[in-house]
Structure 1
Amino acid sequence: MLEFVPIFSYSLKVQSRNPKKVYAMDLGLVNEASANFSDATGHKLENLIFLHLRRTSKNICYYKDKGECDFVIIEKGKVIRAIQVCHQITVQNFKREYNGLLEAMKAFNLSEGIIVTTSQADSFEEDGKIIRMIPASQYICSP
């Protein structure tokens, strides 16, 4: 019913000692069993994107150093994608979300990263790295 996502590290010892993110396999049960007094839209969106990613990716981790990136996808021992999820990008959270993703992209030498939002779209370029902000509906429906 729950799945745990480890922090990215080449060391299994480091992965096992650090906290794991928890995702539900059924968002309907989360709604019924949750004691949250807010709608927790951001957490639900992140969980939805996790469920989408796990259909095609076996190795999913999160990245954390100075900032945090919600998902890094690993294939054949190499990080191939970095994805950040945020319900809505605002002036207050833009820097945190953007810098967390950019930090992961630099750490893994990725040229492109994605911020998935509920409905916003935009793109940014910094130091030859491209960050695309796309709505969840577009991200989930893209091949």
Structure 2
Amino acid sequence: MPNRKRSMFCSKRNALLKQRKRELRSQETPEAREAHHASQRSRDLHSLFEESAEIRQAHLAAQLSCDQRSLLDEPVEARQAHLAFMRIRNQRSLLEELAETRQTRLTALDAPIMCNGTRMIIKELYSQILQATILNGPAAG
């Protein structure tokens, strides 16, 4: 029985807290709301750059070795297409400088299949190699 009472108390408390938050949000001015969202975005960006130098060095070494291996294994007849990605949807998993406009070489893809408007989730982004899941279009999968 004590767990049931505690659960009821917690759910009532959570409901009161949510109601209080709603009241505070309704009293907030649009300028204050925008300032709050801006500070939240800056905190998110700051957390992206908090990695230690050792982790960055290890990540860079892994990128270089993966790029070198894949370039050696790349068939000569592989089709190369240069595509500019104006927006990368998965920005939280990438550093800010990688999330900006980037031109990347994609190999073994049919260029007409990959066109403007193709959406993809970036899994890994190296200097020469891009691993992604294509969400729409003829090359989805």
- TM-score between the two structures when normalised by the length of structure 2: 0.27
Q: Specify which structure has the higher proportion of strand.
A: 1
Q: Specify which structure has the higher proportion of helix.
A: 2
